[in-house]
Structure 1
Amino acid sequence: MDATRTRMAGLVLCEPTELYNILNQVTKLSRLTEPNYLCLLDVRSKREYDESHVITAHRVKKRANEYLIPESVDLECVRHCVVYDNNTSTLEIIFRRETEEEELEISDKSRRELVPGAAVECGRALAALTRHPVCILRGGYERFSATYHFLRTQKIIWMPQELDAFQPYPAEIIPGKLYLGNFRQACDPKIQKDLKIKAHVNVSMETGPFFVDDSDKLLHIKIEDSPEANISPFLRHLCHFLEIHLQLGSVILVFSTLGINRGCVAVLAFLMHWNEQTLKKSWAHVKKCKNNVHPSQGLVAQLSEWEKVILGDSVTDILDPLC
């Protein structure tokens, strides 16, 4: 299980960035089209849910202290089950005072009742029904919607064709700072606005519409998507460009035509440099953020050489397939 998640009896805390990336995974279409991919459950009140909720979320009703899971959901087959309430930030139990008078009796703990947050309570009920740990969204809807307001909706029923048409956002590699996407996403003005993108790294032969002729905000690495592609001469400049923008607080989108090979390799090279870490560790992080990345063998070999530059030795065995 990911080190960024906290374990507890079949439950894990899920960071907002993890849910963002789960919602934006793709194969040929958005993975939200797959019936057993994601079960996203909202345990807030009906009024709050109707006002707005995370896209594709089902509201979980409660009757006689029992959570009623939507009948359309087959939890045993679901890959990701995520539950959120308003603002749960821990899996630990919390104090609930029985009367208003006890609010004034801070030192008297004898009459306090220990209870889990609503999301944790629901998650515990679900944990016995799922193959994978149930994820509790850290910070709940309040934190997620504050960061990813563009993934809020009032829509309750999603038709298959609507999910087919859903346009995913770029993968979030460093929360709120670095994204990995494709050429279409790099050309979408709404995505630039929603993610507050201030700079582009274009690792393709195509020319995008943003930051043209602005070398301070656009780094264009022109390499073909071919076995002979050579990104090595550009890696130092790439890392310097990204480092400067991160220090300035800029949000950067790295992209290539499909965002699975050249753009992925650029991000891997930067993570190795930025964190002084191995190719293998960088790969594990990028693969978690964007499941469909598939760097070519030639570019992976160049990353192995880059690892020697960063760490002084080649640590990752690239003969052991990264995938």
Structure 2
Amino acid sequence: MAAVRLCEPSELYNLLNQRRGGVSRLAEVNYLYLIGNSAPSTGCTGRCSRFDSSPGTLLLPEWVEVDSMQQVVVYDSSSSSVQDGAALCARVLEKMSLNPVLILRGGFQRFSAMYTFLRTEKILYTMTELENLKVYPVEVIPGLLYMGDLSQGRDGSVLRDLKVRAVVHISQSGAPESGFAHGTHAMLNIPLEDSVTSDLYSSFEKICCFIESNLDVGSRVLIVSRLGRSRCSAVAIAFLMHHFKYTLDEAWKSVLKCKPSMRPNSGFLQQLFNWELHIKGTNLTDISQPYF
């Protein structure tokens, strides 16, 4: 039997905005089951239904196989603990699930207030619609720092919805491709290819100072690289180490939780190991661990 725990709105936001092979993971039959007794907060998945919080039997749609779902999230209007209204539903699902059942902290009210651009009345989607859903950059620091690919960085509606005012752009050319907003966003361009021999370490200090200076004045920052997996994740990890004084292990796990597909190349991993020595004065992380 799995556990029941609270999840923050940013965790659900990141679950909704994962991509595999260029397609939203919400198109995967057994990726996410979202169930609530309030108005739909996102409608972003065909695996979505409602429950009745009154005492009785929880009736699930025939197509739901809870034991095969990778993620199960329950919400009501304003849950704040594992004892609130959504807990009854979560405890029933817990008995069927192989993975922890999550209760959305703050429920529909808090999530919809934070991510108004995800609200929709639509609940059922065709497979084609799911495959073509807009996927937003993941949230590394809630409401402050985001990480994505070049297509997301070029999408003006994404930048507006997330209220991004500064972009760290890492690409082989270093010059932002057409579509990036010039003049309206602070831009730091880092010319660097995704290669094990590329020197990203020498740019860590400049990038961290750029991000920190923008966050200090209330500007949200987006880090982008071509696929949003190697270069931008290495930069996000380096910033968490700089800003929060995390070890490499702590920063790596934090970004991995936001985006499980992230993967700095082996050259960047060694440079992050060197960055840990710079930040902490000693190396505290064993990079021979299998998750690196």
Q: Same fold (TM over 0.5)?
A: yes
Q: Is the CA contact (8 Å cut-off) linking 1:203 and 1:223 kept in structure 2?
A: yes
> Residues 110-129 of structure 1: matches in 2 within 5 Å?
117-129=84-96
Q: In 1, Cα distance between the equivalents of 2:116 and 2:17? A: 14
Per-residue deviation at 1:261? 0.5
Q: Secondary structure at the match of 2:122?
A: coil
Counterpart AA for 1:293: M
Per-residue deviation at 1:319? 2.5
Q: Does residue 1:83 correspond to 2:74, yes or no?
A: yes
Q: Secondary structure at the match of 2:73?
A: strand
Give the equivalent residue in structure 2 for 1:26.
Answer: 19
Give the equivalent residue in structure 1 for 2:283.
Answer: 314
Counterpart AA for 1:91: V
Give the equivalent residue in structure 2 for 1:59.
Answer: 50
Structure 1 residues 137 and 54: CA distance shift in structure 2, 3 A: farther
Q: In 2, Cα distance between the equivalents of 1:153 and 1:286? A: 28
The one-character-per-residue Cα deviations of 1:124-163 (angstroms, maximum 9, x if unpaired) are: 1111111112110000000000111111111121111111
Of the candidates 182, 186, 192, which is equivalent to residue 223 of structure 1? 192
Q: Is the CA contact (8 Å cut-off) linking 2:33 and 2:73 kept in structure 1?
A: yes
Q: Is the CA contact (8 Å cut-off) linking 1:42 and 1:53 kept in structure 2?
A: no
When the two structures are superposed, what TM-score results if normalisation uses the length of structure 2?
Answer: 0.93
Give the equivalent residue in structure 2 for 1:14.
Answer: 7
Give the equivalent residue in structure 1 for 2:213.
Answer: 244
Structure 1 residues 306 and 64: CA distance shift in structure 2, 3 A: closer
Counterpart AA for 2:265: S
Identity of counterpart residues, as a percentage? 40
Q: Does residue 1:235 correspond to 2:229, yes or no?
A: no
Q: Is the CA contact (8 Å cut-off) linking 1:15 and 1:137 kept in structure 2?
A: yes
Across the aligned residues of Structure 1 and Structure 2, the Cα RMSD in angstroms comes to 1.8
Q: Does residue 1:161 correspond to 2:155, yes or no?
A: no
Q: Secondary structure at the match of 2:20?
A: coil
Structure 2 gap ranges (5+): none
Q: In 1, Cα distance between the equivalents of 2:56 and 2:35? A: 17
Q: In 2, Cα distance between the equivalents of 1:303 and 1:212? A: 31
Q: Is the CA contact (8 Å cut-off) linking 1:211 and 1:218 kept in structure 2?
A: no
Counterpart AA for 1:172: E
Counterpart AA for 2:44: I
Structure 1 gap ranges (5+): 1-8, 93-116
Structure 1 residues 161 and 54: CA distance shift in structure 2, 3 A: closer
Q: Is the CA contact (8 Å cut-off) linking 2:43 and 2:124 kept in structure 1?
A: no
Structure 1 residues 12 and 63: CA distance shift in structure 2, 3 A: closer
Q: Does residue 1:212 correspond to 2:201, yes or no?
A: no
Give the equivalent residue in structure 1 for 2:148.
Answer: 181
> Residues 76-155 of structure 1: matches in 2 within 5 Å?
76-92=67-83, 117-155=84-122
Per-residue deviation at 1:64? 6.7
- Equivalent residues, number: 285
Give the equivalent residue in structure 1 for 2:273.
Answer: 304
Q: In 2, Cα distance between the equivalents of 1:227 and 1:309? A: 20
Per-residue deviation at 1:191? 0.4
Per-residue deviation at 1:10? 2.5
When the two structures are superposed, what TM-score results if normalisation uses the length of structure 1?
Answer: 0.84
Give the equivalent residue in structure 1 for 2:257.
Answer: 288
Give the equivalent residue in structure 2 for 1:198.
Answer: 165
Larger CA Rg, structure 1 vs 2: 1
Q: Does residue 1:68 correspond to 2:35, yes or no?
A: no
Q: Does residue 1:42 correspond to 2:36, yes or no?
A: yes
Give the equivalent residue in structure 2 for 1:259.
Answer: 228
Q: In 2, Cα distance between the equivalents of 1:286 and 1:64? A: 40
Of the candidates 242, 249, 266, which is equivalent to residue 273 of structure 1? 242
Q: In 2, Cα distance between the equivalents of 1:138 and 1:257? A: 33
Q: Is the CA contact (8 Å cut-off) linking 1:42 and 1:58 kept in structure 2?
A: yes
